[in-house]
Structure 1
């Protein structure tokens, strides 16, 4: 009988808290896996017990039991194929670092203008899974996020005030630019490109 081949990536066995291969893995009710120590430390430092990945909140602190099957799979993979993440995943000179990585920082794959923060692939996951984060504006990694925020309100600059010739946030529209001629920032950018040609 032919043997089935299983192809897995290290990301499937990575704790989203420490970003390392799972150690003493535990699975919580929402289905996410973490290192026993990482999850225990996380919950000991917080008054609320919630999943660090999807933010599902538990009314009472769940009892954490080691996932023995997952632990055995990780042990076998470590002996055969599992190796540390390749160095190109770490943020080097010229790359944007993940704002949520601790220790050695991974390279950011997206920046969120709503949060405003930059995320590696692992820390970006909640933006794809959590309903309230799915509507955030994600852009390519940007080391100049602060320049895209209103200095007064810390909101993303989305509007161009033609009257004052300045980029403003939605709060500025309401508080300081009432009655001014305004357009979306992208519309103004396209208009300026066309007029410069």
Structure 2
């Protein structure tokens, strides 16, 4: 029961955008929460003072185009801080007295102690898995990649994405519900890579437009200065002419 609660809590502290534990969680007007950095990227891609929620598509106005001014999810931030203070236990051991985890397998989605890690290396299907040390996770050098569990098949990860339904599914749901209907389904990792590439392309386009726009602003500023100089010259010439006329 305690382990199940830990898993649910862990999933509740994951950002829907980066799929990692929230960092500086901010609340949108629709009540959905995201990392400050993720919202910064979304705002930069949109290029104005609005953010469209990735979950419900509702629009949030960002004060002064500064995501940092959005409300902090204090309850969630406090929960994450408390979780960071607790050592992560091995999620693979069957005994009640579970030892502390030494590594995390990105492919299996499990925290492993040294004993379980040795067994993990002996499994043929585990060869080549991405295993990272807990010290790298706690230091923030490497983000943890977690997949959500399927609501129908509780023990299965939502490791597929149905482009037709626009939602994530587990492999069993993919076979039973989507493939039979002729839906287009790809691996979640492939979808995320494509999604991140699209975001990168959008950011690149935004930077080009921003650079072009800045050139226009600089040009207008320069012309404004020239116009101001010309105005002062004209004013000076008019005063001189007026004084001459008065003197004559």
TM tier, shorter chain? Answer: 0.3 to 0.5
Q: Which has the larger radius of gyration?
A: 2
